Amino acid sequence: MACALLATVVWSGSFVTSRGLHDSVPPVQHAFWRWVIALIAVAPFGARQAWRQRRLLRRHARHVLGASALGVAVYNTLVNQAGLTTPAATMGMIMAASPVLMAVFERLGGVRLGARRTTGLLIACAGVALLVGGGTGFPSGGLWMSAAACCFAGYSALLRRGPAELSGTGFLFTTFLIGTVLLLPVQAASLLLQGGFTPAPGTVLPLLYGGLASSAVAFFAWNKAVALIGATRAGIVYHLQPVCAAVLSWAVLGEDTTGTHLLCMALILGGVVLGAGASG
């Protein structure tokens, strides 16, 4: 649970950086440079392991490519696109729906959720639904965030179904590398059509946060959590995302937190506490 919580808190900050860079760094370029930084950070630990696992990685090439596309290339690009028009707190609210999809994917795979876990999931979902519909409205970037939630849920379910020996920093390095390569064509198109951005503390520091904390640290922690407790139980902790994102968006960006937000956060927290226990 600790690894899932660490990843969730750190990823909440990535919504703030996506929103904060919406008018200075194009979404694709934000995603591309984030993963370049992450790749450099993980390379000293993962490149050698990936080389040792090269036969295993080739054997499971479809699994690795799927994880790279969903979790690296597509997911964060969609989040950055949503950040052009959507407040960071609302992005976190919509992303909190992804554990529902994780549970659906695992249930389709034959995993029994248990009454307690299912109840906690439903309570947390009720908080998310009320938060999105109870006066906050559905933002114009909601479709982008909904697509991002689907990608992240698919990525997490894919991790759970992958071979146990295909894990750790070698797998992480490989997915970062492939995801960065997949972004190259759209990065080139963005530079051609939108131009580049001016490096400055206000752009470089958020990119460093995204590459080091939100990518290298958070993805390693999340992958570890999914391997240890499964995507569904990790997904229940992920429901804390809107709570963390709302607090950070208020502290960093000055976005308001209303009484409706607080009520729904209480539901989300209650669902997390209930669902994090053993199934039954």
Please report the DSSP string for 13-71 in residue order: HHHHHHHHTTTTS-HHHHHHHHHHHHHHHHHHHHHHHHHHTHHHHHHTHHHHHHHIIII
DSSP, res 198: -
Which residues have C-beta within 8 Å of that of residue 90, sequence separation ≥ 6? Answer: 132, 136, 139, 142, 145
Can you give the pLDDT at residue 34?
A: 92
By the 8 A CB rule, do 151 and 74 touch? yes
Can you give the pLDDT at residue 62?
A: 92
Could you give the CA distance from residue 77 to residue 27 in angstroms, rounded to a whole number? 6
- C-alpha Rg value of the chain to the nearest Å: 18
Residue with tokens 């460093």: 208
At 146-182, the pLDDT tens digits run: 888 888 888 888 877 777 777 678 998 999 999 999 9
**Residues with pLDDT less than 50, the chain:** 135-136, 278-280
**The amino acid at 125:** C
**The amino acid at 21:** L
Can you give the pLDDT at residue 237?
A: 76
Can you give the pLDDT at residue 155?
A: 86
By the 8 A CB rule, do 72 and 173 touch? no
Q: What is the pTM of this model?
A: 0.77
Could you give the CA distance from residue 192 to residue 186 in angstroms, rounded to a whole number? 10
